[in-house]
Structure 1
Amino acid sequence: MAETRKRQFKTVIRRYKDKLFIAVSDQQSLENKLRGLLLGVQYELTVLKDVDTQKIIKAMLSYVWPRDRPDLRARVAISLGFLGGAKAMNIVVPFMFKYAVDSLNQMSGNMLNLNGISRAGAAFFNEVRNAVFGKVAQNSIRRIAKNVFLHLHNLDLAFHLNRQTGALSKAIDRGTRGISFVLSALVFNLLPIMFEVTLVSGVLYYRCGAQFALVTLGTLGAYTAFTVAVTRWRTRFRIEMNKADNDAGNAAIDSLLNYETVKYFNNENYEAQRYDGFLKTYETASLKSTSTLAMLNFGQSAIFSVGLTAIMVLASQGIVTGTLTVGDLVMVNGLLFQLSLPLNFLGTVYRETRQALIDMNTLFTLLKVDTRIKDKAMASPLQITPQTATVAFDNVHFEYIEGQKVLSGISFEVPAGKKVAIVGGSGSGKSTIVRLLFRFYEPQKGNIYLAGQNIQDVSLESLRRAVGVVPQLQTLLSTVVDADEIIVLDQR
């Protein structure tokens, strides 16, 4: 064993190109870091699974209609009422315009006035709806973001060993921004668009005939099918953009956090080239996304233009035969243009909803990750006093990776009020002992006692509140000194 310990540390002085490297290697420490990395990868592969889209929407709607917030539910109901008023006003506007055109020979401006009032009313209802629903959307974003943040702190250390802070931060940021859009899209766009399409088709059927309704439904069906098909095809480019964006952000943060290492090896150009490679990948995917978006927009406009032309031809034939008036032509044109607004938005809603769901997948996947270290069902608080504060390890076996033991049957006791130093080479298990005492990990065999109580039988909160650790590396938050003091003082 002594011979093994001697071989753990080696000082190497070598010249590489024009630099003299002085390296003190710590073989066991490096092995432990690699073990931790592998453990983090294994943990991530076992717990990070995509969440079904329906489950995401269901979970998100629970924030829109929270059981414990009747005020938010009232806001949603009021917003839906304003939505209904806005849609009713939208349908009334073309009718007012029709009657205004048909009554122009009577030199009456009442219908024109009503047309203006209807348009203003529709705009009023829409804006009030947005203002009322804004608090619901922002409150949902805040609650989800807070829950994700708190959940990340409650996850096991094994999960965070392989974390990529930059990529994770970007994913959470995009996910929270996507929540607002999806909330508005589901509540105020998709269902209202279907309602308005049905209403307009019914009006055209009863006022103008079945041909008008069939052409309208055919146009809308072709428009929707084309939009969905092309958008699904374009989604892969958006996924590539997100991945490249995550990789670029993570590379930048990782390089800057390891500033000294980059300088020691004079690797600034290499890091810049690596970062630029991710940006180039993002650029390529972004250009593909932009070009296919142009194709989508043109196809949508072409389909709608063909449908509008067909409707106008039918209306013109009706005027010639005397079954329709000029006002009817204006009404039909107005109804279709009225539909063009939500139809154009339908394409945007579908695209952005798909994108938002992709962004939100990571967010809600993180919420589904379950921690392995948790309290037992009837865990009691740790009962400890300065007189009973003993620490005991009883035949503890532990390994990060199966088959690679770090602690093998270790047993010792630290009496209350005594100071004990655990001395050993780097990688011999000193930090592992502290992690086990804090229950960052569970031993494969053996028990750990604090004040005579098995730490697996007491609550995590009381255990970690009772034990203080002075870390080897003093890490402070990037904030004011008062905030760092609060972190310590609040726990004492």
Structure 2
Amino acid sequence: MARGERSGHRGGGIEAKAHGAGVVAEMPPDPKTLPALLDLMRLVARSGAPQLRLRLFGSILLTILGKALGVLAPLVLGAAVNHLARDQPAGVSVGLGFAGFAVGWAIVRFLSSTAPQLSDVIFAPVRQAAQRAAATETFAHALHLSLDFHQTKRSGALSRTVDRGSRSVDFLLRILAFNLVPTGLELILAAGVLGGAYDWRFAAVAVVVVVIYTGLTFAISNWRIEHRRTMNTADTEAAGQVVDALINYETVKSFGAETRAAAGYDRALGAYNAAALKANSSLALLNGVQALIMNVGLGVMAVMAGFEAAAGRMGPGDVTAAVLILISLYGPLNILGFAYREIRQSFIDMEEMLKVTRQTPQVADAPGAPALPRPQDRKGGTLAFEAVSFRHDARTGGLEDVSFRVAPGTTTALVGPSGSGKSTIVKLALRLLDAQNGRVIIDGADVRDVTQASLRQAVALVPQDVALFNDTLATNIAFARPEATEDEIWAAAEAAELAGFIRGLPDGMETRVGERGLKLSGGERQRVGIARALLADPSILILDEATSALDSRTEAAIQKTLRKAKAGRTTLVVAHRLSTIADAEQILVLKSGRIVERGAHHELVARVGGEYAALWRKQTRGARTGLEAGSLKA
């Protein structure tokens, strides 16, 4: 295979390419090497690898031993050739002596080849533990980051950052510990042996050849990076078109755009192929230059050794040994171009991953924060907003001086136009956001003073768009409380009017719902969300348009179920359909981030010129118009 690196091909290999959002079009500047190495060592130290110190010591010792034996092996073979060339009185003794040296050379060479393999076996658990720790730490930290981080971060890019960063840890440990550093050690040993056993000029040739080889490899590799960057960008575009078309295949088919989508993919592949040809041509140039330097060095070494042998200062075996030592140096250098480029990229990937772990969540538990105590009377929790204000960075609107109280066991509804602040109130109650002014209080405790875990055990949300995992119905319902028994899961499904549907499925509770729950209808997904929230047994239940995707008959049944579920719970309801909240003890009407009206349904409807009354008339007029149109058709 060509030196420096292997030629690229679509699909992976050494020229591996990240697809989708993972590849950056522009390679950022190299991070500082020393801090990156310190980060790498800290990752290894906290990896939790078994017998970490013993494995480090053993692998380093075996690596040094292997390189030392690799330099010694040519000397043993050289001694064998010298022994064979000497005048001996008996042919048998000559043959036995040569055979002994030859066998010794084979054994030493075998040991020099085996030592790095044993070293890698010993060190592999450390590499794997470091990779696992890096991925787990980053993933866990990303999950703990605040809502603002996830709203501005592309999920695909974040996933690729974690994946590439963790794999870069494994690659850097492997290439630095068992390739570049040992190769430098081997060069020092080889130079010392050549200078000590033969002549300083042999050591100088070895060093000069390696320095020239390394310098030109780095220079050409830096030039080739532009070709690789263009190729990766084209590959990203091609992969992105495939993913977009497959995810949105219904849209593609609905508009008869299959041929158009395939043509766009073909154009992207054409751009990739053009960039790949340039990358492969520059790779051939790199390999040619490396081969030229190697062979010139070998030629110079052989000529020098030949002159020394002719002058009687070296035997024929010494000539062989000198050339073999230089050849042994070339082996690890063969992948230097690939290693240099990949090390640069791996340091960058690792740094990008560590940037995620250095992000500080805006919403975090206070040091020593206690858990939120659950109400003992099982009447539900108390929720209060005290002069709460919040302004989003990306919008001019937000909440302005919002105050209200939801008494235990009662229902409070939030109504108002889109953008009026309803969702912001829900996020503040769940502490997905922190109030910039004022306080959010649950059962007398400021939500910022208790742990988030205990808060979210006490508050459950049924969102308008229920997100499901690509797993079974049982797993999705039990997500709120994984330790729940099968009977409890079925009871939650019964309460959400979902049990009959599940029993009609061939696999029942073990039915997989597909990616994002796409195998279920919108109403079925919403009922799974309701079952999940009921299983959590919260003291405060938040319903964010929880029945908006249901048909009227199912909605009426679930409204009845929810009325039962509200018993012993405090409920906060976000609604656009006012008929669903007419029985709420308190209705808050929001507009432009402020509460403009509050009261019970009958009070707000009776207000002349009120916001709620106007919205009620509009909705009931629309309902009457629909009924009249239906009767005329009948």
TM range (shorter): 0.7 to 0.9
- For 2:460, what is the secondary structure of its paired residue? coil
Q: Match of 1:480?
A: 472
Compute the displacement of 1:71 (Å).
0.8
Structure 2: 5+ residue stretches without partners: 1-27, 86-93, 484-535, 537-634
- Cα distance in 1, alignment partners of residues 248 and 320 from structure 2: 67
Amino acid at match of 1:471: P
Q: Match of 1:233?
A: 223
- Contact 1:66/1:73 (<8 A) preserved: no
Q: Match of 1:448?
A: 440
- Cα distance in 2, alignment partners of residues 50 and 101 from structure 1: 49
Q: Match of 1:430?
A: 422
- For 1:469, what is the secondary structure of its paired residue? strand
Distance 1:290 1:307, change over 3 A: same
- Contact 1:86/1:126 (<8 A) preserved: yes
Q: Does 1:468 align with 2:468?
A: no
- Cα distance in 2, alignment partners of residues 111 and 75 from structure 1: 34
Amino acid at match of 1:198: I
Q: Match of 1:59?
A: 39
Q: Does 1:223 align with 2:203?
A: no
Distance 1:60 1:215, change over 3 A: same
- Contact 2:31/2:347 (<8 A) preserved: no
Q: Match of 2:407?
A: 415
- Cα distance in 1, alignment partners of residues 59 and 215 from structure 2: 30
Match of 2:156 among 156, 166, 172: 166
- Contact 1:167/1:249 (<8 A) preserved: no
- For 1:411, what is the secondary structure of its paired residue? strand
Amino acid at match of 1:143: A
- Cα distance in 2, alignment partners of residues 439 and 243 from structure 1: 40
Q: Does 1:150 align with 2:130?
A: no
- Contact 2:388/2:435 (<8 A) preserved: yes
- Cα distance in 1, alignment partners of residues 107 and 161 from structure 2: 45
| 159-168 vs 220-229, which moves further | 159-168
- Cα distance in 2, alignment partners of residues 83 and 302 from structure 1: 29
Aligned positions of 1:53-452 closer than 5 A: 53-66=33-46, 69=49, 71-105=51-85, 106-107=94-95, 108=97, 109-246=99-236, 248-250=238-240, 252-259=242-249, 279-385=269-375, 386-387=378-379, 389-401=381-393, 404-452=396-444
Q: TM-score, normalised by structure 1?
A: 0.82
Compute the displacement of 1:441 (Å).
2.0
Q: Which has the higher contact order (CA 8 A, sep 6+)?
A: 1
- For 1:377, what is the secondary structure of its paired residue? coil
Amino acid at match of 1:357: F
Amino acid at match of 1:332: A
CA offsets, 1:117-170, max 9 Å, x none? Answer: 111111221221121111111111111111121122111222222333333333
CA offsets, 1:289-326, max 9 Å, x none? Answer: 32222221211111111111111111111111111111
- Cα distance in 2, alignment partners of residues 277 and 301 from structure 1: 36
- Cα distance in 1, alignment partners of residues 43 and 395 from structure 2: 45
- Contact 1:167/1:246 (<8 A) preserved: no
Q: Match of 1:40?
A: none
Distance 1:355 1:475, change over 3 A: same
Q: Report % sequence identity.
A: 34
Alignment RMSD, CA only? 2.7
Work out which of the two has the higher radius of gyration on C-alpha atoms and give 1 or 2: 2
- Cα distance in 2, alignment partners of residues 309 and 289 from structure 1: 30
- Cα distance in 1, alignment partners of residues 205 and 77 from structure 2: 22
- Contact 1:227/1:300 (<8 A) preserved: yes
Distance 1:436 1:230, change over 3 A: same
Compute the displacement of 1:196 (Å).
0.8
Compute the displacement of 1:251 (Å).
5.1
| 464-473 vs 169-178, which moves further | 169-178
Q: How many residues align?
A: 445
Compute the displacement of 1:259 (Å).
4.8
Structure 1: 5+ residue stretches without partners: 1-47
